[in-house]
Amino acid sequence: MTEHCPEIQAALLGYGTVGSGVYQLFQRQKHEFPHKLGLCPVISRILVRDLSRPRRGADPALFTDRWEDILHDGDIRIVIEVTGGIEPARTRILEALRAGKSVVTANKDLMAEHGAELFAAAEEAGCDLLFEAAVAGGIPIIRPLKQCLAGNYITEIMGILNGTTNYILTRMSRDGMDFDTALQKAQELGYAEADPTADIEGCDAARKLAILASIGFNSRVVLSDVYTQGISGLSAKDIAYAEEMGCCIKLVALARCTPSGIEARVHPMLLPLGHPLATVHDSFNAVFVHGDAAGDLMFRGRGAGSLPTASAVLGDVCEAVRNLRCGCAGRVGCTCYKQIPVKKMEDTENRFFLRMQVEDRPGVLANVASVLGNNGVSIAQVIQKARTADTAEIVVITDRVQERNFSDSLAVFSGMSVIRKISAVIRVYDE
Ligand code: NAP
Ligand code: HSE
């Protein structure tokens, strides 16, 4: 079968961390393809920006810097977009779909912000638009949500969706590494985006959460719907205090479908060490899903890096090849058929860890407690930490409170001279 297996041509857009991994996996799997797929996909063109850069692993004759070489080549049936960013990736994907080519992409920026437009183009063209690698790298989560769990109402998705920040937090907590050194290591290992701001400030995880929530709840959630706070404000002190309290700090992405609307947010969270997400370290990602029929599910694996991400891309390529072979490309399209409102963050409820520097004199703690109480914020725990000169550091853990009430308390604190500094506000896990 291998010798006479017909080829099907694919083009690779991008030969960076993910693209070179995809090419490598095509080589590794080439003898398996005929048996798995009944066709043999081959990469016949590779698009890059800078043709003069040396490229390892692939025949130099495959490279081009002209998109038209791919768009106008009728033999190329599948376009694999692993360049990143919005433009020109968006235009190229639209053009590829309109030219009848199936598209596989790892581009979460694009799927989170232009998913509706791209799906409409794919549907009109009757082509596949597959994006398993866009969320949580090597972890299969898009296809499980869209297909395997189609018999469920999904009510909650909670995960660690960014490898770079999880790697940084792990190194800070386990090795006492400082933030910048840990970030540099994450970049060297190929986890970080070209501009790591999106990783650190939570936007990368927010984009992935928007995609997961849209699929899980069958209602479109876009990036601007997701409340987003990153890890740049966290200090080693907060990590140490969390550990003293039997917790760790993770950048958590949480989406819930409640009777009053969808909640979608990404922010640091104190998690008890016994929580399964607390055991997810380094660049590993994990996603919890709750379905009314399947119950609790957890998906865990490598969320970033060359081969884990390429694994998800290749899985999609195999799906596209099978669909083309059976003449059923575009089989599973957009699944957002509801319009559920997304709640504002101030309308959600949370528990808080509040660390502040206060004047060290009698009555100050009572002032703090009365501001919180006057705003309907109930205190679960107060700890007085270090004292220096006339300043005391106190940590307050609240019960579950309305986000708006907590913000109102912070606004009052900012006008009180006895409160010298609000050093940290971190949400605490609450079942
Ligand atoms: P990367 O290492 O920066 O590689 C990008 C590649 O795309 C390079 O080969 C670059 O060409 C090419 N490229 C960029 N802009 C181009 C343009 N306008 N025209 C032609 N070629 C262009 O990026 P990456 O880490 O592989 O990420 C690629 C995509 O995968 C992104 O959407 C990213 O979010 C997603 N992703 C990445 C990971 C990961 O772990 N890295 C995981 C999941 C998803 P040159 O080589 O000539 O510069
Ligand atoms: N920069 C991303 C991360 C890569 O760190 O998880 C995967 O999207």
Q: Cα–Cα distance between 7 and 27 in angstroms, integer?
A: 14
Separation of alpha carbons 221 and 209, rounded Å: 9
Could you tell me the distance, in angstroms and rounded to a whole number, from the CA of residue 10 to the centre of ligand 1? 17
Which ligand 1 atom sits nearest the alpha carbon of residue 190? 41
Q: Is the CB of 193 under 6 A from ligand 2?
A: yes
Q: Active site residue: 208, 237, 385, 421, which one? A: 208
Break the chain down into helix, strand, coil percent, rounded to 5. Answer: 40, 30, 35
Q: State phi, psi for 231 to the nearest 5 degrees.
A: -105, 5
**What is the reported pLDDT for 3?**
61
CB of 114 within 8 A of CB of 88? no
Q: Which atom of ligand 1 is nearest to the CA of 65?
A: 20
Q: Is the N-terminal amide bond of 88 cis, ω within 30° of 0?
A: yes
DSSP secondary structure letter of residue 219: B
208 is catalytic: yes
- Considering every ligand atom, which ligand is closest to the CA of 82? 1
- 3-state secondary structure (DSSP) of residue 416: coil
What spacing in Å lies between the alpha carbon of 191 and ligand 2's midpoint?
5
Q: Specify the pLDDT at position 2.
A: 53
Q: Which of 103, 93, 83 is nearest to 194 (CA)?
A: 83
What does the pLDDT profile of the chain (431 residues) look like in tens digits? 456 899 999 999 999 999 999 999 999 999 999 999 999 999 999 999 999 999 999 999 999 999 999 999 999 999 999 999 999 999 999 999 999 999 999 999 999 999 999 999 999 999 999 999 999 999 999 999 999 999 999 999 999 999 999 999 999 999 988 888 999 999 998 888 878 999 999 999 999 999 999 999 999 999 999 999 999 989 888 999 999 999 999 999 999 999 999 999 999 999 999 999 999 999 999 999 999 999 999 999 999 889 999 999 999 999 999 999 999 999 998 999 999 999 999 999 999 999 999 999 899 999 999 999 999 999 999 988 777 888 999 999 999 999 999 999 999 999 999 999 999 999 999 87
**Residue among 24, 47, 48, 307 to mutate when testing ligand 1 (max atoms within 8 A of CB):** 48
Nearest to 371 by CA among 401, 410, 399: 410
> Rounded to the nearest whole angstrom, what is the distance from the C-alpha of residue 303 to the centroid of ligand 2?
7
Hey, whose CA ends up nearest to atom 38 of ligand 1?
304
Q: How far apart are CA 354 and CA 80, in angstroms?
A: 46
- Ligand 2 pocket test: which of 197, 204, 266, 302 has the largest number of ligand atoms within 8 Å of its C-beta? 204
Residue with tokens 């390529």: 317
Given a contact cutoff of 8 angstroms between Cβ atoms, the answer to whether 316 and 130 are in contact is yes
Task: Assess whether the C-beta atom of 134 lies below 6 angstroms from ligand 2.
Answer: no
* Index of the ligand 2 atom closest to the CA of residue 166: 5
Which residues contact ligand 1 via a Cβ below 6 A?
14-19, 47-50, 53, 82-84, 88, 106-108, 133, 137, 190-191, 193-194, 304-305, 309
